[in-house]
Structure 1
Amino acid sequence: MQTVESSLRQRWGYLAKDFVETADGQLFAVVVHGVEAGRVLTSLRYTRRSEGLRKLGSLESQQLLQKQHPDWLYHCPRRDVQLHGVPESCVIRHYRPAAFLEEQRQLYRAAHHPTLAPALKAIRQHLDAGNLETGQLEAGQLAAGQLAAGHPQTGPTGGGLTGEWGITGSHLLGAAGADSDIDCVVYGMKNFLRAQQLAQNAMERGDWQGLTPEQWQAAYQRRGCELSLAEYSWHERRKYNKFSVMGTKIDLSCVDNPPPEALIAGEKIGKTQLLAQVVDDTHAFASPAVYRVSHPRIQSVLSGTPTYAGQAVVGEWIQARGWEEHTLDGSRRLVVGTSREGSDEWLKVVSAPAVDGKVGNREEDAVFRSESG
């Protein structure tokens, strides 16, 4: 039976959350499925040095490409934004999260010592036993095993996720340290929602833990978004895609076919801020995330920034700032997070507007004030 991951890869070849490496030792995260004008659309994240891989910030990566490969600074006409467009002919290695995880499984079976041995031990035990009860494994092993195999006692639909998820980020590249996060990518929205439910169940049982204040602070500083720490953590906690296992931070993200709106070319008009109600959140965890909204002029809000995936649900009012675009089908949309840090751009839940059009207080606003005060 074909997996969602293999189906996506058959269609697109390169998938978001993959990495590619070039001959001069630059490693790029793929940010858009497929190939456009002979280029893989990416963001430079690491450079290979004699002492190992070194992670690059956004400004440093931009400066490096301007110096060494200015022709790789590619203006994507469909998205009207600059990306790092690596010519496919320059790719010497393609790192794939699901294939990497399967390699680790094989290494474990061969009694080698893979990077993720504890997680793979849990996967093997779950697949072999099929119906292990909570408590038969250590918490960290149970966590990884449930994600890999779809624990039949707790999974919302039963059945396994084997082959439908993988490991990306520093672990995929062999650059992880002892305290590195584990970045998990789940293929297909249904599979992602199942993994998300498993995470929520495990956290409610106490098998997995929420992030500590220190971990939330570190995640917030690394993301560098325009929200306050209190706003950021309030939105993130309810997504159940960040948690801690044996002290290690785990991140879940979804990779699927892009929403239809993301495939329509748009032209930037200017920076805009709006207040609107979400009327459709079907693609809230997609990449890019899409929120259809009720607004006099703008039909949807899009964001390719992970911070704003799953940020709001149907019925909630959002405040968003980004680039307004006019699309080829005649509609208008707001694009939030046109750079990795999304400077001067944001998307957050607020209260419904009062009669005079101003935003009033609500319970969560009080939470924001008390946490930040």
Structure 2
Amino acid sequence: MIGMPDLAEGYYVESAEGLLFAVKGLIHPPGAVVAYLRYVPDPGGKRERRGIRYRRLYHFGEQEELLREKCPDCLFFDPVFGETLQGVPRERIKQVYDPCLRLAELRQGRSLDGLEEKAVEFANLLAEKAGVSEECIGISGSILVNLHTSGSDIDLVVYGVENCRAVHGALRELMGEPDGEVRRLSGEELRALYATRSQDTPMSFEDFAWLEGRKVIQGKFRGCEYFIRFVKSPVEVEERYGDRRYISLGRAKIEATVADASEGIFTPCFYKIEDVRLVEGQRAAPLPVEIVSFRGRFCEQAEEGERVRARGKLERVISRGGEVHHRLLLGRPGDFMTVIEEIAPG
């Protein structure tokens, strides 16, 4: 499809060993695709396809431990990103799973299960409400690789900046409709989500519930939980692999005011910040000018004018031309971002 990303966020790839990975971001090193392990063949797994049972891996630690054992080539240090990444060498990719193609196939299907039907209906509703082409929306997650169960989430992905903003606005309108088909998560549902998220992203339940309760990228459609990723198309991303180098300056905790949250709905998400104060970290460490994350959980995390506290990896970013700035990257277990001061009314 014209303008659709090649191996972008939302896609999955299967390695020669039969491991299933979720592709991360739009920028990949030559000869490999940055992707994180999601499903592994396991006789004791609770999901099955093509006669093979699979187990879902949720946490970085267990993902990396398994890769070191079964596929060490899928853990590699990248000199541009300055860290060890999960990914699949391109010559080891056995199959690519395209979210837009999968959703198109489901639309043509005649024997869909209940979750697949709801996924198609939800995608069609969003496209119609937002006035965008159905082709810019795809299905990711377990449905993409046919490992879903009746209790799985609906994971959609939208490509293209204008499409993303239109669908995001449509979601907000749909959530505002009384007795509508789209609603926010309830307190009990948020507590269940917190039990999972808080293992990697520490914060109080009160802060978590307040932050997640105002988001529209996740919620429920006709009783099924959903999560939506908004992803730019390649032509909308100027950076190419190697245009910038990222150098770790260690861990840091900061407080800052969000100056621009307009990129906060996308994966990866970006928040421009000002009035930055270093709370924890090396003395005389340079102050970051942005907070960045490739994890969907940090999308819609803060709004312009809000004061936030965040912990992550402080990085120096150096362009080919020698320009330098610093950022706080959120992504590893223990990283967080929470609002400590809301926007003043008026």
Q: How does 1:213-362 map to 2 (within 5 A)?
A: 213-224=187-198, 225-257=201-233, 264-295=244-275, 297-328=287-318, 329-337=323-331, 339=332, 342-343=333-334, 345-351=335-341
The answer to whether the Cα contact below 8 Å between 1:22 and 1:92 also exists between their aligned partners in 2 is yes
The answer to whether the Cα contact below 8 Å between 1:14 and 1:34 also exists between their aligned partners in 2 is no
Q: How does 1:89-238 map to 2 (within 5 A)?
A: 89-107=91-109, 111-113=110-112, 116-120=116-120, 122=121, 143-147=122-126, 149-151=127-129, 155=130, 159-205=131-177, 206-207=179-180, 208-224=182-198, 225-238=201-214
- Cα distance between partner residues in 1 of 2:124 and 2:66: 40
Deviation at 1:276, TM superposition (A): 1.2
Deviation at 1:34, TM superposition (A): 4.9
- Cα distance between partner residues in 1 of 2:52 and 2:119: 28
SS at match of 1:222: helix
The answer to whether the Cα contact below 8 Å between 2:187 and 2:209 also exists between their aligned partners in 1 is no
Aligned match of 1:31 in 6, 24, 30?
A: 24
Aligned-CA RMSD value: 2.4
Q: Which amino acid aligns with 1:275?
A: E
312-321 or 45-54, which deviates more = 45-54
The answer to whether the Cα contact below 8 Å between 2:132 and 2:163 also exists between their aligned partners in 1 is no
Say which structure is richer in strand. 2
Q: For this pair of structures, how many residues does the alignment match?
A: 313
Structure whose CA Rg is larger: 1
Deviation at 1:237, TM superposition (A): 2.1
Q: Which amino acid aligns with 1:212?
A: S
Say which structure is richer in helix. 1
The answer to whether the Cα contact below 8 Å between 2:249 and 2:314 also exists between their aligned partners in 1 is yes
Aligned to 1:368: none
- Consecutive unaligned residues of structure 1, counting only runs of 5 or more, are 123-142, 353-360, 364-373
Higher relative contact order, chain-length normalized (CA < 8 Å, sep 6+): 2
Q: Which amino acid aligns with 1:52?
A: R
Cα offsets for 1:119-162 (capped at 9, x unmatched): 44x4xxxxxxxxxxxxxxxxxxxx44321x323xxx4xxx2330
SS at match of 2:305: coil
Aligned to 2:45: none
Q: Which amino acid aligns with 2:54?
A: L
Deviation at 1:113, TM superposition (A): 3.2
The answer to whether the Cα contact below 8 Å between 2:137 and 2:156 also exists between their aligned partners in 1 is yes
- Cα distance between partner residues in 1 of 2:72 and 2:54: 22
Cα offsets for 1:210-232 (capped at 9, x unmatched): 21223212222222311222212
Distance 1:52 1:317, change over 3 A: same
SS at match of 1:74: strand
Deviation at 1:201, TM superposition (A): 1.7
Identity, in percent, stands at 27
Aligned to 1:125: none
Q: Which amino acid aligns with 1:239?
A: K
Distance 1:17 1:113, change over 3 A: closer
TM-score by length of 2: 0.83
- Consecutive unaligned residues of structure 2, counting only runs of 5 or more, are 43-50, 277-286
TM-score by length of 1: 0.77
SS at match of 2:80: coil
SS at match of 1:7: coil
Aligned to 2:57: 56
